Amino acid sequence: MLCLAIAGSMPASAHSASSSYLHVDVQARALVVQWSIALRDLDYAVGIDTDGDGAITWGEVRRHAAAIDAYALSRLALSADGVPCTFGAVSNLVDQLNDGTYAVLRFQAACASAPARVGVHYALLFDLDPLHRGLLTLSVGGVPHAAALSPTLQDVQFDVAPGYRETVRSFFLTGVDHLLTGIDHMLFVTMLLVPAMFRRRLDSFGPGAAMLPVADFSGMFVESLKVLSAFTLAHGTTLTLSVLHIVSIPERLSEAGIALTILATALDNVFHFLPARRWPLAFAFGLVHGLGFATALGPMSLPPMALGVALISFNLGLEAAQVSIASVVLPIGFLLRNTVVYPRRILPGISGAVAVVALVWFTDRAAGLNLMPF
């Protein structure tokens, strides 16, 4: 008896408590579900470790799959506009999460109609562990909704009426965010912009190439927008192709390719070895950048219409952010274009520094070293 009191007298260290992760993807007439439940919890509820050796093997999980599925599904209900959806066959997998191994249940729930309101009722484990929580995400048209389900919150409803406003807003912001926080994308755009206030003669190459300061700001701005739009167009094209799985290349290759485009553009700002016309270059390199999304966007299973809206919004957001960067970088460069220090020190200095970073990235990614933090 006293032992317990002592236990209470000393502060305890604790794990994360028991949670399950329930993902529901709302599609036209079905809900696609992936549900991860800790094996320790399932063992407590249905008894998986039949030989009692304290170790749960895949064989034991497989033999109890029917019991696991029956137990879990009897404590979950999904509905579309108040009408229950019917669970289909479950495929059983496992997943190694940072706090233990989880059983993963994948299944579809067929609904009578395309839902305007999805209802979730969740009561897993609450009778055995009132501290258990169900962490739910419900994704509609790529837009996530979420809830933490508990003994006092077992029922939630989500309004999923068709309507692309939220998709447009969310993906536009994601595009803006991607440019502003994706360091390699930002560096590439900057490398395109820093020499924009000079015009290079089309037949002039090499470190001593003739670079003439432009006379008129608006002309330069429009020219830069063309370069950026060519980049976005190319990027958007390959992004779409990779999302539709028409093109797919290994992430390592596309990541290394992106580093290479930054390296080439930065070096060109100093040594002028690429063709002087910038928009074809931006287009060609943009194709490479778009491929970088192959792995990132792959798992998004959106209906075609929503996918189109999402991709267009994303690219518009990206373009908007690029234009904002141009609005900051270009006036500064324009004001400095007639100084000696900008073309001779600042421009080669920035480009050289970016080239070094890009070279390290390239080596890191091509060789698969993963030493760089981003």
Partner 1 sequence: MTKSFLHLFCKKGGLACFLLACAPAQASPFLPASDSVVLEHLPDASDRGRHRALAADPHNLALALSVAQGDLGRARALGDPRYLGRAQAALAPWPTPGAPPEVTLLRAVILQSNHDFAGALAALDQVLRQRPHDAQAWLTRAAIHQAQAEYHAALHDCGQFATTVLGLAPDICTASAMSLNGHAPLALRAVELSLDANAAEATREPQVAMWGLTLAAETAERLGDPSAETWFARAMALDARDPYLLGAWSDWLLDHDRPREVIALLDGYTRVDPLLLRLALAEQATGHAALAGHVADLAARFEASRLRGDTVHRREEARFALYLQRRPARALALARDNWTVQREPADARILLETSLAAGQPAAADPILAWMQANTVQDVRLAALAARVRASTAGGS
Residues 140-159 that bind partner 1 (CB under 8 A): 144-148, 150
In the complex, minimum distance from the CB of residue 22 to partner 1, in angstroms, rounded to a whole number? 9
List the one residue from 82, 84, 86, 94 that touches partner 1 (CB under 8 A): 94
Q: Which is nearer to partner 1, 63 or 201 (CB)?
A: 63
With contact defined as beta carbons under 8 Å apart, do 38 and 86 qualify?
A: no
CB atoms < 10 A from the CB of 164, how many?
16
CB of 183 to partner 1, least distance (A): 9
Q: Which is nearer to partner 1, 236 or 343 (CB)?
A: 236
| Alpha-carbon dihedral sign for residues 48, 50, 52, 56 | negative
Among 86, 157, 181, 301, binds partner 1 (CB under 8 A): 181
Q: Is 74 one of the binding residues for partner 1 (CB under 8 A)?
A: no
CA-CA distance, 288 to 260, in Å (whole number)? Answer: 10
Task: Report 278-337 residues binding partner 1 (CB under 8 A).
Answer: 289, 292-293, 295-297, 299-300
Sole binder of partner 1 in the list 23, 29, 121, 199 (CB under 8 A)? 23
**Which residues 188-247 are close enough to bind partner 1 by CB under 8 A?**
none
CA distance 320 to 141: 22
Hey, which residues between 260 and 289 contact partner 1 (CB under 8 A)?
Answer: 289
Under the criterion CB under 8 A, does residue 11 sit at the interface with partner 1? yes
Tell me the closest approach of the beta carbon of residue 292 to partner 1, in angstroms.
4
Instruction: Tell me: does residue 2 bind partner 1 (CB under 8 A).
Output: yes
DSSP 8-state symbol, 189: H
The residue among 89, 106, 86 whose CA lies nearest residue 29 is: 86
| Phi and psi torsions of 94, nearest 5° | -130, 165
How far apart CA 93 and CA 109 sit, in angstroms, is 18
Which of 370, 348, 352 lies closest to 361, judged by CA? Answer: 370
Instruction: Report in angstroms how near the CB of residue 218 gets to partner 1 at its nearest.
Output: 32
**Applying CB under 8 A, which part among 173-181, 192-200, 221-229, 337-345 lies near partner 1?**
173-181
Distance of CA 147 to the CA centre of its chain: 21
Do residues 282 and 228 make contact, with C-beta atoms less than 8 angstroms apart? yes
Q: Give me the least distance between CB of 81 and partner 1, in Å please.
A: 22
User: Does residue 255 touch partner 1 according to CB under 8 A?
Assistant: yes
